[in-house]
Each structure stands twice: as structure tokens, then as C-alpha cells.
Structure 1
Amino acid sequence: MLKRFVLKPLLYLSLLVLLLLICGLAYRSYTQIQVERSTAITTAGGIESLETVEVRGDTQWIYVRGHDRSNPVLLYLHGGPGMTELPIARSFGLELEKHFTVVHWDQRGSGKSRTRDLSASELTIDSYVQDVLALTNYLRERFGQDKIFLVGHSWGSLLGVLSVRDHPQLYHAYVGVGQIANIADNERLSLDYVRDVARTRGNSTAQRELAAVDPLQYGEDIAQLQVQRKWLYLFGGGFRGIGILELVWLYVASPEYSLLDLRRLLTGSNALPTAMWSEVMAVDLVRDANEFALPVYFLGVDTTTTRRRSWPGTIWGL
């Protein structure tokens, strides 16, 4: 009797969890279809292609979108390392696709491109810069253009600056978004910010957790970085105009990403910063990249990036 009393609620709970899972997957599939339809490129000369390319011996994924394939090519370098932005290509920058052929790219070991563990020789800034240059030359040849535009976000802005510094002849211009200059200073200021907010608000939990954080140790202990970023987002220093849950939903509902791809994204976004942190912390672009032989632009702190609405109830106009 007691056994039946215990097992029956467990059975109901299991069935409820299973039902919620099925409903969640069904809603995800429905949303993916709606997103794909509402953002499809239908112009006669347009291009919309998710494909693999060989980049210095490694199979990597790119997603090309544009209303006219004769438009200038724009290569977008995502942040991280490992935090691909290909899944949210349909949510941000759709206006760009009217004027450029935009190439979104899952870098080596990131997202869809993470099909194996990387060797130590691949886990260097220079290796990633060489990938940028190789992909640049591939795009120049494919689209018959002498130069392309380069946009770098966060970690991608580090790769972008180094690429255009050494090879300005390949690019019309460079645009930095969330531009990196000095990583050590950046992390120190970011940690100071969350500690100050925690102290001002009297948040004892945040103060206790942040007291144990040391940016120099992020490479050996990724959990410290995760603690700092958690409070950064909770205190409003991470995103403006979009919540973290809404951003997560954009990734989950991406037509270009399977559940396996999402798992690869999570794996890469944890593994790559850990492996490369020591080298990244030594970066000082103020010292090493302060002159350029091409136009360079930076999106400032007050610049807004437009997006399509995405949260349930307002998903892409639904």
C-alpha cells in the first residue's frame, strides 16, 4: 500500500515532465518554421546558404545572407572565444542584408564547427587570425571582390583588429562592436563594477561570491568567470534592451541549430576561454595596434543594435 502511495505520484510527475518536454520541443519546431518563413530571402539575386567550408584543413560552417549577391561582402566575427552568434543571424542586423552579403561564421571549435577537440597549436590568437585571413581570401575569390568589409564583436574584435592591422589591403573598412583593447584592464574594471554595485545594494550573497573572484585565475577556474558574469548580467551590465532569457530563446529557436549544435556551442564556450585565457589576458591593442591603413569605426556605448521581437507572444510578428 505504501509502495503504491509513493509510486503513483512519481508516475504522474514523470508523465507531466514528459508532456512538458514534448510540448516544448513541438513549440520550438513550430517557432523555427515561423522564423524561417518570416525571414527568408526571396529576392531574385539574393543568397541564403548554410554551408561548410574548409579553413586551413578544418571543416567549418558559414551562413551567408544577402538580398543581392553582387553587394559588398561583410564578414562578421563572433565573440567568445567559442560564443558563436550564427544562431541569432536572423534576429539582428537584417537591415545589413539589404546592403551587404553578410557572412556569419562559426569559428574553429565553436558551435556547429566544434566536431573535435582542438590541438594546442590551434588554440592561439594567431591561429584564429590566420583562419580569418583564409576565410577572407576564400570570400574574395568566391564573390569576385578585391576587398570585403570586416566586423568584429568582443573576442571577434580582437581578431578583426589584428587582421586589418597586418593585411589592410584585403578590406574596405573595419567596424569594432564591443571593441577589445586591453583584456586585463577590461576584466578588472568589470569586476570592480559588480563589486561596487553589490556593496551599494547591500547584496551580501554577491559580495561573498565576488570576494573570491580573481580574473588572473579564470583560465584555471572557469567557474570564477561564470560567477562574475552572472552578477554582471543580474546587475544590468551585460545586455541593454534585451533580457538573458530572451537571448537564450533566440538561440534555442534558431532554424540553423539542432539540439546537438546547441550542446556543441555550450561545450566550446566553456572549453575555449579556459584553454586560451592566459594568452588573451596579455593582449594590449592600445600598445600593439594603434595605427591603421584603412578606415576603422567603433560602435559606441550609446549605439543601439536593432532586432526583431522574439519573446513568446511577439515572436517575429506572431
Structure 2
Amino acid sequence: MKKLAVAMMLLMAQASYAQQCATSDSGCKERAVVADLGRILTPGGIQETYKTRIGGIDQWLNVRGQDQNNPIILFVHGGPASTAMPTLWQFQRPIEEYFTVVHWDQRGAGKTYRETDPASIAGTIHIDRYVDDAIEVAEYVRKRYHKDKVILLGHSWGTIVGMHAAIKRPDLFHAYVGVGQVINVRDNERILYDYAVKTAKEKGNDEAQKELASIAPYPGDQPITRERIIIARKWPQYYGGMTAYRDSSLYFFDGPLLSPEYDKADVKAIDEGNVYTLEKILPEFVAVDFKGVRTFPIPVVMFLGRHDYTTPAMPTVEWMGKVKAPYKRTVMFEHSAHMMPWEEPGKMLVSLLDYVRPLAVKTKR
């Protein structure tokens, strides 16, 4: 009976994609191939994408893992509004053998952005609201999948939400993992800008030098506006500060086009949600500062990219040297910039197994 059920699930999924490809856009067959590769059919596995009520609105979750007995990672994506759900297929499959991974499209992001009239949530785009949402997601996941605690992992902007959530509700989490951690935004902006200026001069890039000079001194004492931050980040990312050794990150920005979870409207919503959210959250974002946090209530592990000039590693290294925590570990990804899970997926898996999974298993015992 179990084999029959699995076969029926497979046939239904294939039929669903066949129907979509008969009426949908180009690229559908390619998405079907990705979906087939990523299909989870192990007896104890889980694969589901659904919306649920979080923070008073419908928000989307994606849950994948080969064995539901494994620890859960709650992945808090970056941005703001740069959801990781549509590119998880690029790096996550090996992780799913040892963890159940929950992705969450935050308010104003991706599939969640499409669920609600943006005007109706305009007044809720605040860091505190995201933190409360993350806590609510953690509580929901813990209850639905019968876990005492989950592992909280934040990437980029998600580290701001994750750090606050871990401090506010440490009882929910085995550990906190910061991937491309933000400690102080203004420090980060100064470091990445100085790197861009130095590198542009070394490379003799007149265009970059002119653009960067137009916002000098940066960040300085002036407000960090959307226009200034776009220029400041354009050139360090061009010089490998987002993806090491690359002047672009096409794999990430166009990766959603091959996502089985996202249709064309979902993909379009990524950019729309990013613009919508950044405009509202920017004043709070640039004021973020965790340098005053000297004690951390749960184990903390930082995954840092040696070449990261989006959220530079050094402020986090310095913070980790001072903070007191039940357990702390810094892992440097030598061939990564800001996108460690995508750039060094092997090291990502090994580091999770070596430094994070034992914390969840030990707590469980």
C-alpha cells in the first residue's frame, strides 16, 4: 500500500506539472526537471509548501526534509524581502538528509507579498514586527512538527531579525546561526564603501570612482538614502563582495525562474516586495547596532565569508571575541563572499553537522 501511495503521489505531481507546461510560460519543463530531482519520497520525509496565519496575515512556508525526526532549521531569509525559497533547490538537498529546513517568505516578500494588499500592511513594516513574526513562525513550526525547539538560522537581513528573536525568546531555539551576520549597519557601509573605493582605484575604473565620489563621504553624517546605498553597494558587489571572484550573481537573481515553488507572478513579486519593503524599513535598518550586546542567551555560531563586502566579516569577528555565550564558534568560509550556502555548499553542510547539529541533538537528550 505504501508503494502504491508513493506511486500515486508521483503520478499526480507529474500530471500537475504536465498540465502547467501545456498552458504556462516557457521554462516550465525545466522547472519540472528541478522539481523531479528535488522530490522527497522517503517514508519519513516531508515536503510541503503552504500558507498559514502569522502576525495577522497569511504568510508562506516551505518545509523539506528526508526524515522528520531530524532537527529543524528555521531559515530567515535576507533582503529585506529577498526570499530564499525560490533558490533553495540550488544548495539545500544535501542538508535535507540531516535537517528538516523551513523557509518562510516574510511579510512583504515573495509569495507572502502577493497574499495581502501592500497598503494594508504598510504600517507594519518595522523590525519589531518581523521579530514577532519570526517568533510566531518558530512556535507554529515547533507545535506542528512536534519539536521542543528549533535551530534559528538568519542570512544577511535575516540575521537582524534572527538575533532579536533569539534574544527575546531563547526558550524556542537550540542555537542561533548567523550567515553573513549584521552587527552594525553603519560600520558595514563604511567598510564596503572603502573597499570599493580602494579597488576601483587599483583597477583604474573611472566610472566606479566617479559614482562612488558622488556620495562621499559615505556613510558620513548624511542620511543613508536608498539612492546612496544602491551606489555604495553596486561596486563592492561588482568586485566580488557578494559572490567571491564574480562581478555578478546571476545564479541567485535569476534562479527563481527555475523554481518549482514559484510561478511568474511570484518571481515578479520578489522585486516588487524588495522595493516596497526597503523604502519603509531603511531608516530602522541603518540604525541597527548589536555592538552593545555582551551576553547571548543560547549557543551562537557565525558563518562568515572571507570576501564578504555586503555584510563584512570583521565586525562580527570582533563581536564574537567579546560576547559571552553558552557556546560560540566562528567559521570562516575562505572562498565565499556573502552567499555562503550557494558558494560553498559542501562546507555549509559539514559546518552545520560539525558545529550546529550536535547542539540540537544534545539538547534533545
TM-score category (smaller protein): 0.7 to 0.9
Unaligned runs of 5+ in 2: 1-23, 306-331, 345-365
Distance 2:206 2:258 in 1: 36
Give the Cα separation in 1 of the matches to 2:238 and 2:343: 23
Which of 290, 295, 298 does residue 294 from structure 1 map onto?
298
TM-score, normalised to structure 2, is 0.73
Q: CA deviation at 1:82?
A: 0.9
- 8 Å contact 1:70–1:143 — kept in the other structure? no
1:304-315 matches, cutoff 5 A: 305=340
**What's the counterpart of residue 118 of structure 2?**
117
Residue 307 to residue 279, structure 1, CA distance change in 2 (3 Å): closer
The correspondence of residues 214-253 of structure 1 with structure 2, limited to 5 A, is 214-215=218-219, 216-219=222-225, 222-240=226-244, 243-253=248-258
Contact 2:108 2:276 in 1 (8 A): no
Q: Which residue of 2 aligns with 1:316?
A: none
Task: Give the % identical residues.
Answer: 35
Indicate if the aligned counterparts of 1:218 and 1:274 stay in contact, CA closer than 8 A: no
Counterpart residue number, 1:101: 100
Moved more, 261-270 or 93-102: 93-102
Q: Which fold has the larger relative contact order, with Cα–Cα distance below 8 Å and residues 6 or more apart in sequence?
A: 1
Cα distance in 2, alignment partners of residues 149 and 263 from structure 1: 30
Q: CA deviation at 1:34?
A: 0.8
For residue 270 of structure 1, what is the aligned residue in structure 2? 275
Q: CA deviation at 1:93?
A: 2.6
| 1:258 aligned onto 2:257 | no
CA-CA distance at 1:211 after TM superposition: 1.5
In structure 2, give the amino acid aligned to 1:234. Y
User: Distance between the aligned counterparts of 2:187 and 2:301, measured in 1?
Assistant: 21
Task: Specify the SS of the correspondent of 1:267.
Answer: helix
| 3-state DSSP of counterpart to 2:291 | helix
Deviation sequence 1:232-254 (CA, Å, 0-9, x none)? 22211111266512223322111
Residue 61 (structure 2) aligns with:
62
Once the two structures are TM-superposed, the CA of residue 228 in structure 1 deviates from its matched residue by: 2.7
Work out the number of aligned pairs and report it: 282
**CA-CA distance at 1:85 after TM superposition:** 0.8
Partners of 1:175 and 1:194 lie apart in 2 by 28
Give the partner amino acid of 1:73. I
Q: CA deviation at 1:277?
A: 1.1
Report deviation, 1:131: 0.1
| Unmatched tracts of structure 1, length 5 or more | 1-23, 310-318
**Following TM superposition, by how much is the alpha carbon of 1:205 offset from its aligned partner in structure 2, in angstroms?**
0.7
Secondary structure, counterpart of 2:69 in structure 1: coil
Question: Aligned in 2, Cα 1:306/1:282: closer, same or farther, shift over 3 Å?
Answer: closer
- 1:184-216 per-position Cα deviation (integer Å, ceiling 9, x unaligned): 110111111111111121111111111123545
The alpha carbon displacement at 1:307 in A equals 5.0
Amino acid at match of 1:235: Y
Preserved contact between residue 166 and residue 176 of structure 2 (Cα < 8 Å): yes
Q: What is residue 21 of structure 1 aligned with on the other side? A: none
CA contact 2:108–2:274 (8 Å) conserved in 1? no
Q: Which amino acid aligns with 1:126?
A: D
Deviations 1:22-75 (A, max 9, x none): xx953x212101100111111011111111011021111111000012222210
